[in-house]
Structure 1
Amino acid sequence: MQDFALYFELGWQHILNWKAYDHILFVIVLCAAYTLTDWKRMLLLVTTFTVGHSITLALSILKVITVKTDLIEFLIPVTILVTAASNIMSGKSSRPKGVQLKYILALFFGLIHGLLGFSNYLNSLRGKSTNIAAEIFAFNIGLEFGQILIVTGILLIFFILINIFKVKRWNWNFFLSSAVFGISFMMAAGRWPGLFH
């Protein structure tokens, strides 16, 4: 139980780490087009992302796959860029379009995010233990918990903006997605030179 608590804490701290805010940006832009009434859809989206993340994290820990860290560091802001762009291009419809595509993208982008070198840190904590299932499970439950906190915060802010300040859904989506697009573009541009070292 003590190990579960440790890995659970690592999971939510990993997603809520302001120094590595790319995960926070991804979750924010993933839910930018949704409102509080869409909470089930949002929960499924972030869970889909977590599933992808856990698959490649486990494969990285087991050394089944290894990918150059600089490539993953570059691809992560690209996943944020693509998600933000898809929100912006969705138009002014009252409900987000291409929901099935969003699930596929969330799973695929989760696979990319899970490849980040965090597996090295988890490996150092595990020591010689060969059973990673419990650690991965606890870590990803913590990750999911952190994501749900972010989603809840964004959806509550949006609820207040819509119901008190009468902000239109599209305006919020466009503003938030555009801001995240700009940030992630700068992140990707800054990490591009690292691909050629």
Structure 2
Amino acid sequence: MLKSLVKACAQKLFGFAFMVALAPALLASHELILSGIGLDSVHAHEKSQSFSKWRSTEKGIAVIFTVAARQVTLLPPTNPNAPSLERTLGQHLDNTITLSKPEAPCISSGFTPRKARPGFISMENYFMCPAEEAEDSDTVTIGIESFMDFAETHIHFAQFRNETGQYRGYLFNYDRRQDILSLEADGNMVAEDIGLVKTFFRYSQIGITHILSGIDHLVFLLGLLLLTNRFRDVVLVVTGFTIGHSLTLGLSAMKIVSTQSAIVEGLIGFTILVVAAEAVMARRNLMWLAGGVFALMLFFMGLYSIMLEAPMPINGWAGLMLFAVAYGFYSQNLNIVRQTLPIMVVIFGLVHGFGFAGVLVEAGLPNDRLLSALIGFNLGVEIGQLLIVAIIWFGFFRYMHSHFSEKLRGAITDFAGIAMCGVGMFWFASRLLI
């Protein structure tokens, strides 16, 4: 009797300690919300990407550059006393994007702000390149180094369209900062003769690159593996995640469904928080405590979001509160969590699919080869996902299950789960409240 009482008290104390461990992440988010200090060191470890769309016009070669607003916080402000993200980004782009012909550089009119969707900043510019009357065609060297000295994993997707709607895509990164664009005598872009197969492989590369650079998706996969102890469970988890994200990826890419990227990115942090909490709390039958405390946090975060005019509406916060309480009380132990895991992974996969779709839509899809591009991108995501799962499961988890004691495995799971819970909480709060 006394032993059971002591064990129960110890479990509850661990539960409260677990929730207290989330406080630094929440407080860090609050400090960032109020001051904006330290964002560069945090976001430098998130997926870093930007997009540009180019076309030939009477004014010259026009470009629209788009990037997430929080990504701009990596850059040093132009005026520390009165920081402006648009001004900071414009100056950075002026210094890091160049066009030139063999005989002379193209003249930039300077990047200026334009309307962008919530959570993003867009800038536009025109480049006037010297005419070459004697040639039937010409080439322009494009240099894009934006953000790459601040985030070595930064990826830039550039899309060039001509007057007939044909397009050409380029991928820039830390090691590849230049490319060549072919122009006709009238300055219009030379159409690229690309078939279904080449489109498929090009977008497969984009899919692989995106999943391997998306640390939030990788952390979520790691959290799922913490809840599995058999290879059969791993197969079910990966299959469920694939079904979920493939569905919303397709719907979003075909513009049947649209979402706000800021909300999607925040909810991805929420999915990480849930699976990490399950890995730690479900083994102690304390998911009810985690759900209740987190619902209380959500209540105050929702009130705070009203003052900030944050992207997620109040009914979204209310829905998450109900989910936290209901799922916390339903998931009484680890066996129940594992039984419902395939269903939950499909649901959470829907959220991650919207995140995958964001990069695909911004990178651009060829209307005449939409299906080939969509299948290629999704397959690329799957290849990257399976590669990561195989490395983690066969390289570490199998060894851990066969060589480590149950107590040591539990300690490792607790440590990883608490760390991931803090990361998930930070991403959830900062993405929805900043």
Establish whether TM, by shorter chain, passes 0.5: yes
Question: Hey, what's the Cα distance between the residues in 1 that align with 2:402 and 2:411?
Answer: 14
Partner of 2:223: 29
State the 1:97 CA deviation: 4.3
Partner of 2:379: 141
Answer yes or no: is the 8 Å Cα contact 2:400–2:409 preserved in 1: no
Answer yes or no: is the 8 Å Cα contact 1:32–1:172 preserved in 2: no
| CA displacement, residues 4-62 of structure 1 (integer Å, 9 cap, x when unaligned) | 22222222221110xx3110110110111334xx2232122112112111111111111
**How many positions carry a matched residue from both structures?**
186
Question: Hey, what's the Cα distance between the residues in 2 that align with 1:97 and 1:150?
Answer: 26
Partner of 1:178: 418
RCO (CA 8 Å, sep 6+): is it higher in 1 or 2? 1
Question: Hey, what's the Cα distance between the residues in 1 that align with 2:276 and 2:227?
Answer: 10
Structure ID, larger Rg: 2
Partner of 2:361: 120
Is 1:104 the counterpart of 2:343 in the alignment?
A: yes
| Structure 2 portions without partners, runs of 5+ | 1-196, 286-333
Answer yes or no: is the 8 Å Cα contact 1:85–1:177 preserved in 2: yes
SS in 1 for 2:414: helix
Is 1:60 the counterpart of 2:252 in the alignment?
A: yes
Partner of 1:8: 204
Question: Hey, what's the Cα distance between the residues in 1 that align with 2:373 and 2:339?
Answer: 30
State the 1:174 CA deviation: 1.8
* TM-score normalised by structure 2 residue count: 0.40
Question: Hey, what's the Cα distance between the residues in 2 that align with 1:75 and 1:172?
Answer: 26
SS in 1 for 2:248: helix
Question: Hey, what's the Cα distance between the residues in 2 that align with 1:44 and 1:141?
Answer: 18
**Aligned match for 2:282, one of 90, 95, 102:** 90
Answer yes or no: is the 8 Å Cα contact 2:278–2:337 preserved in 1: no
SS in 1 for 2:354: coil
SS in 2 for 1:31: helix
Percent identical pairs in the alignment equals: 32
Question: Hey, what's the Cα distance between the residues in 2 that align with 1:166 and 1:115?
Answer: 39
Question: Hey, what's the Cα distance between the residues in 1 that align with 2:430 and 2:409?
Answer: 32
| CA displacement, residues 90-143 of structure 1 (integer Å, 9 cap, x when unaligned) | 2169x8543231111111111111112223135x1x3232x5333322222221
State the 1:165 CA deviation: 5.0
State the 1:78 CA deviation: 0.3
- One-letter amino acid of the counterpart of residue 389, structure 2: V
Answer yes or no: is the 8 Å Cα contact 2:264–2:354 preserved in 1: yes
SS in 2 for 1:89: helix
Higher helix share: 1
State the 1:183 CA deviation: 1.0
Answer yes or no: is the 8 Å Cα contact 1:34–1:96 preserved in 2: no
SS in 2 for 1:64: coil
Partner of 1:154: 392
Partner of 2:322: none
Is 1:193 the counterpart of 2:433 in the alignment?
A: yes
* TM-score normalised by structure 1 residue count: 0.83
Question: Hey, what's the Cα distance between the residues in 2 that align with 1:182 and 1:4?
Answer: 38
| Structure 1 portions without partners, runs of 5+ | none
Higher strand share: 2
Question: Hey, what's the Cα distance between the residues in 2 that align with 1:97 and 1:13?
Answer: 35
- Of the structure 1 ranges 71-80 and 95-104, higher mean CA displacement relative to structure 2 is found in 95-104
Question: Hey, what's the Cα distance between the residues in 2 that align with 1:56 and 1:7?
Answer: 17
